[in-house]
Amino acid sequence: MLKIWISMRNSTPVPYGHHQSGGLHPLLLTSLAAAFLVSVPILGVLSNLFSSSNLGQADIAGSTFSHLWATVLPEYIGNSLAIAVIVTVLAAIGGVGCAWLVAVFQFPGKRFFEWALILPLAMPAYVVAYAYTDFLQFSGPVQTALRDAFGWQARDYWFPQIRSIGGAGVLFAMVLYPYVYLLARNAFLERSPRMWDAARTLGMGPWQTFFRISLPLARPAAAAGIALALMETLADYGAVAYFGVPTLTTGIFKSWYAFSDRVAAAQIAGVLMLAVVGLMLVEHKSRGRARYYAVGARTKLQPLIPLMGARAWGASLFCAVPVFVGFLLPLGILLRLMWKEETLQVSLRYLDWLQNSVLLGAMTALIAIVVCVLLAYAARVTRSRVQAVSNRIVSMGYAVPGAVIAVGILIPLSRIDAWAADRGWQLALTGSVLALVYAYLVRFLAVSYQSVQSGLDKITPSMDASARVLGHGLGSMLLRVHAPLLWRSVLTAGLLVFVDVVKELPATLTVRPFNFDTLAVITHQLAADERLGEAALPALTIVAIAFVPVLVLARAIAKGDQARGH
């Protein structure tokens, strides 16, 4: 890949999509290579669906799947589906409702809530799970205060169980609703004033306009946000494992670690992968042939509707609840745990965990930036259908859960290690830092690619034409024309990948080298041992790192609202 980049520097203009020698363009070959590497984990999972052996013992894949279906798969699927339904309902209500309020109405605290509503994105679900479990369990401060206040004993009252399917669904909704909020808010802001004027002419009030005009127009954006939230929900391992809720993701880990059953783990991973694909297809098919357009150009901004009295404070309360329960309260709980357990002192072990996390995040971000710049540049200069399909495959990696990617990577790498061992070579790819970075790249290349692609799309094609007329080749044009204009997008792409790597738990747990712990892994292990006080410091570090891109996004939202005059 580096050789391809160097050869680009002195290249001369060539026809789009083909190299001078008549073969495929080097950039197109880069896209094909990236697509293949992203496809390997999926192919690794699918290959074991029809495997005829399990660790040297005869085992028919069909009988293994039949056994899984007769014992654990219905429970895994049922629990995952139940959690997904809860997340869908609550994230839709919270995300769409808050987006509608801040985009349409004027009420106390509106400017604050416009950006504060995205703060829960900085809270990984497993960190929130640890915080709320300590806060709401029998020995926690809430139930202890109730018993002290009313003189109750253990069996004198009922209290909702946080470690349950319902608790998991509510928790995921609390931290994932910002996906819905961000996309729905943009859709509401792009509403056409002419449609609002027509609705008022017909005698519609704000709520009628919402249900009959604005909500249908925002439906595709809201559905996309819900789909993102559900993908994150299905991919989670830390929260559901800590809650003791059997799901498809926990089933993969149980089969892999507890029973050392590679075939069973691969088949459950296949079911999870099909669930994610099915989710994407259902969202697409649900729209049918319907299309939603905002008729009329936005020549002016729709003025905000002022709310008065109880309605105004009700809107403020509605927006304050998700910010409080999804970010402020978990943050306060973690700070209380750290202060209570006196874990404020930084130890050498903590520095090792931080170093490992930063090292992995920096390596992955750097490689992702280089690869995605080449992919986005290939999309700009080759305009090939093969390249477009390749980049689309790369973009699909984010939809594949980390547990599936981990299993899909370890299966072929273990076979390569076994093949090398038979020939006296010691590759040891399985459980290496290289394998871990590979897993991260498969999972998060899409995040980096979308950011770089959006930045490159803003550069007018006339600049390319002018540069080529002046004799610049593709490499020279990238370095001298595009790179100075792309640095913000590249920096954002690297930052997003870095944060996602630090937060990632399932892939890290499965692929990491022996005795190589990160902040996410050690937080999970300490919480699993009920050492929540010790887990507070690494958990807060993850939150602090994840807060950086959220803060950048919040500032962008604030500047955009000021430019629009809201």
Query: What angle (nearest 5°) sits at the alpha carbon of residue 353, between those of residues 348 and 359?
Result: 120
Give residue 397's pLDDT: 76
Look at residue 106 and tell me whether its pLDDT is greater than 80.
Answer: yes
pLDDT grade, residue 66 (50/70/90)?
confident
pLDDT digit string (tens) for 512-556? Answer: 888 889 999 999 998 888 888 888 889 999 999 988 888 887 777
Rounded CA separation 216/71 (Å): 42
Average pLDDT value for residue range 203-232: 77
Average pLDDT value for residue range 424-436: 83
Average pLDDT value for residue range 227-247: 90
pLDDT digit string (tens) for 443-489? Answer: 888 888 877 777 777 676 666 666 666 666 666 666 666 677 777 77
- Is pLDDT larger for residue 493 or for residue 120? 120
Look at residue 183 and tell me whether its pLDDT is greater than 90.
Answer: no
Quick one: CATH architecture of 83-245+307-343+529-541? Answer: Orthogonal Bundle (1.10)
Which long-range contacts does 481-490 make (Cβ < 8 Å, 24+ apart)?
482/377, 482/456, 485/455, 485/458, 485/459, 486/373, 486/452, 486/455, 486/456, 486/459, 488/455, 489/451, 489/452, 489/454, 489/455, 489/456, 490/369, 490/373, 490/451, 490/452, 490/455
- CB neighbour class for 448 (10 Å; exposed up to 12, middle 13-18, buried from 19): buried
Closest to 436 (Cα-Cα) out of 350, 488, 499, 505: 505
In the chain, where the domains are located: 83-245+307-343+529-541
Give residue 421's pLDDT: 82
Report residue 231 as tokens. 């993908």
Which long-range contacts does 469-472 make (Cβ < 8 Å, 24+ apart)?
none
**Cβ-contact 285, 220 below 8 angstroms:** no
Rounded CA separation 486/94 (Å): 35
Other beta carbons within 10 Å of 164: 13
Rounded CA separation 76/380 (Å): 43
Give residue 46's pLDDT: 73
Report residue 296 as tokens. 């009329």
Give residue 399's pLDDT: 75
Give residue 297's pLDDT: 44
DSSP-assigned letter for residue 398 = G
Q: What is the pTM of this model?
A: 0.81
pLDDT digit string (tens) for 346-359? Answer: 677 888 999 999 99
